[in-house]
Amino acid sequence: MAQRPVTDPVTLIIVGATGDLAQRLLLPALFRLRVDAQIPDRFAVVGFSRRGWSHDDFRAFAREGAARAGEVDEDAWRRFADHLYFVSGDSTKDEDLRALAQALEKIEDSHRTGGNRIVYVASPPSTYEPLLTALGRIGLIRKDGALPWTRVIIEKPFGHDEASARRLNALVDQIIGEAAVFRIDHYLGKETVQNMLVFRFANTVFEPIWNRRYVDHVQISFVEEIGIGSRGRFYEEVGVVRDVVQNHMLQLLAVIAMEPPAVFEAEGFRNEKAKVLRAIPPVRPEHAVRGQYGPGLVRGERVRGYREEEGVDPRSVTPTYAAMRLQVENWRWAGVPFYLRAGKRLARKETEIVIDFRQPPLMMFRGWDMTEMDPNVLVMRTTEDEGISLQIAARIPGHRRQIRTVPLDFSYAEMGIAERPAYEHLLLDAVRGEQTFFTRRDEVELQWAVVDPLLRHWEEHPPRDFPNYAAGSMGPAVADELLERAGRRWRTGPPIREAEPAPGRS
């Protein structure tokens, strides 16, 4: 049985509504939330972009995105589409924004939304400052505390470095207020990431060993087979560190390493994450590796190198791969290295968190065959077949004295309940006004403080060996040395379990 909606009436305005993000993720998520009665009857969605579209054009665009995301019930779609509107305009022009404001008044009156608004900023990051300034000046967004309320969702990357992030935060505070801004990092909406808190703090077997005494090291991998596709110009501006390390990966690290909040609510949760980020010293250049992919083979298909991609400088020194070692200098984690790696055009897709535990003394098993045994490893998969696997040691049946590593495995597919996409969780939270899984201003600034010195060093010392790994490999060889120097290695090879389709939605 669908739950009754617990939200106020609202109009959602998507600035940059004709982009891939809106079609592939935002509009399908809103449709599913409406089908599940998680948003009220009194709602509207208004797309705003430069394209000279009609309402019907936007509805067809949204329908295509919903169909790609899963099966669409036609009656449900027609009811949803009646709430979709489009306003054509340039977000840099005040007259076009005033036209949007006038259109909104009519739409809000028609759907009785009471003037409550969520503005989703899905435009390029370079537009954030002028756009927010104009929206505030024209009155499309109102300071927090004003009724009817306004909330603003801002996509990452939030700033280009620490200085620009601080400047943007100051502007946001002036125009919107911290209580009304929702800095979205969709990884915090993923099932496995949200389940990580329950996994750690609701199970007796894990929390007592979640510390430097029992954990040898932690790995966070965000490696992909795909290249940069049509995002060449964007990627040239950001590179791999700004694209995923500064935001997704440091947020994952903070969730892994945080202390339990006294109460599970937004400020307590974000306070504990901020403490972790504050305990991470800036990355030292000698503890980091960068790379850029050249031509190669991915799954038997020949692909071009980064410098041959559309929109990329043929002499580009933008990194498409980064690996680094971080430390969390607090009581729980002192001395435990956290290894992060992210890259494009690699041999396989591995987006996971790996907790490598220390090996217990094994003297009592002298003479046993332990060639297929590894220390205990906990693997949390955050994409594809989301779930958790624990590798343990077990005696193999038979007459030989043999110990082998075997998996204990959990997958959301096996629960018989379809996983919900991250954007569904986060959009619903924004409509409800719940900021728990959105990033606070101090977290953003602390994340930039970790990587900024490394980015400056790399910019001042351009690489001479790019491209330094072939597409279809697992990255530059020097990345392995980060771990090998300490007798460790990246977790590689096929996943512990084969992916199975989740029941329900595709």
- The residues carrying an active-site annotation are 248
Cβ(28)–Cβ(97) below 8 Å: no
What six digits make up the tokens of 125?
């990051």
Adjacent-strand bridge partners of 350: 223
3-class secondary structure, 234: helix
CA distance 86 to 93: 17
Adjacent-strand bridge partners of 327: 337
Cβ(280)–Cβ(202) below 8 Å: no
Q: Which residue has the tokens 């935002």?
A: 26
Which residue type occupies 447? Q
Tell me the torsion sign for CA atoms 116, 435, 48, 32: negative
Farthest CA pair distance, the chain:
83
- Radius of gyration over every alpha carbon of the chain, rounded to an integer in angstroms: 24
User: Environment class of residue 382 by beta-carbon count within 10 Å: exposed (0-12), middle (13-18) or buried (19+)?
Assistant: buried
What six digits make up the tokens of 284?
């030292």
Q: How far is CA 283 from CA 220, 262, 317, 326, 506, in A?
A: 15, 30, 20, 6, 40
CA distance 290 to 463: 9
CA distance 212 to 376: 15
Q: Helix (H) and strand (E) counts for the chain?
A: 14, 19
Cβ(237)–Cβ(228) below 8 Å: no
Cβ(293)–Cβ(306) below 8 Å: yes
CA distance 342 to 373: 28
* Number of neighbours of residue 106 by Cβ within 10 angstroms: 10
- Name the H helices within 244-319: 250-257, 266-278
Secondary structure letter of residue 439 according to DSSP: B
Which residue type occupies 245? V
Cβ(334)–Cβ(281) below 8 Å: no
